[in-house]
Amino acid sequence: METLAHLSINIRGRLMTFDRPKVMSIVNITPDSFYSRSRSFTEEEVMTKVRQVIDEGADIIDIGGYSSRSGAADVSPQEEYRRLSIGLKAVRSIAPDAVVSVDTFRAEVARKCVLEWGADIINDIGGGTLDPEMWSVIAELNVPYVLMHTRGTPGTMQTMTDYTDVVADVISDLAFKADRLHQMGVSDIIIDPGFGFAKTVSQNYNLLAALPEFRRMGMPVLAGVSHKTMIWKPLGITPDESTMPTVALDAMALQLGADIIRVHETLPAVQTVEILSLLRGKTANKS
């Protein structure tokens, strides 16, 4: 589990360094997330979930109000913001200083979450492709940005998996976009290969194996594999049955250099980071 201690992002004047990997915990305020156990919809359910992930040691809380699974119902910007507000209010009331990420591809929703609730990070599954105003908003607000690779929309992405070389093509796309963002003045970029987004099962594993190549891009790398098709489909199980293999794959992602793992279950992920950090310390002492 090699990490580059010099990698960091600036969160409202506070430096988050990646000498130790971070756990990004998902709080979905949706009735139709692909992983049923992650769904929270009432204010009481959201408050309970937020308390849980904080108590279990989440480094970042990622709040989403729009399911990206194929076939999910469309959600208006107004409804998405209403849902996100429930989560942001819960976090700010329970742990005002917690680092909060907002999972949205809409520029105006991102703007309101930052200005009205102090959201710290914008996690954009569109990588700037689903809303042409997103990058301008990120540059204006000067907040860290998760740049994820995808193609098409959540409804069409699985018809767009034709790559010449999936690793080279994804790295090239992310590098080009990161350069554009840097030119716009965005300095804090986290890159995400986009596991499950416009990729086949086999392509997802090609990308996972290539995480060391993504880390050489000089930006923190996020791996979001939790309960995804790449896990449960080849095993012939359901998303709800894929907790143990998710933990195993998160451990592999950390060993291969992920700086952030995005997860549905916080405690197993926190414990995995702790155990691998102990191993890393032992191997470092031998070298």
Residue 121, both tokens: 């990070």
> Residue 176: CB partners within 8 Å, gap ≥ 6?
none
d(CA 99, CA 54): 10
**DSSP assigned state of 157:** G
d(CA 210, CA 68): 24
Q: Do the Cβ atoms of 228 and 193 come closer than 8 Å?
A: no
Catalytic one of 228, 233, 280, 282: 228
Catalytic one of 262, 280, 282, 286: 262
Cα 266–Cα 277–Cα 282 angle in degrees, nearest 5: 155
The separation between the first and the last C-alpha atoms of the chain, rounded to the nearest angstrom, is: 14
DSSP 28-78: E--S--SSGGGB--SHHHHHHHHHHHHHTT-SEEEEE-S--STTPPP--HH
Question: Is 262 a catalytic site residue?
Answer: yes
Q: Do the Cβ atoms of 145 and 191 come closer than 8 Å?
A: no
Question: Is 112 a catalytic site residue?
Answer: no
Q: CA torsion angle for 193, 70, 106, 173 (degrees, to 10)?
A: 30
d(CA 69, CA 57): 27
Q: Do the Cβ atoms of 154 and 70 come closer than 8 Å?
A: yes
Catalytic residues: 228, 262
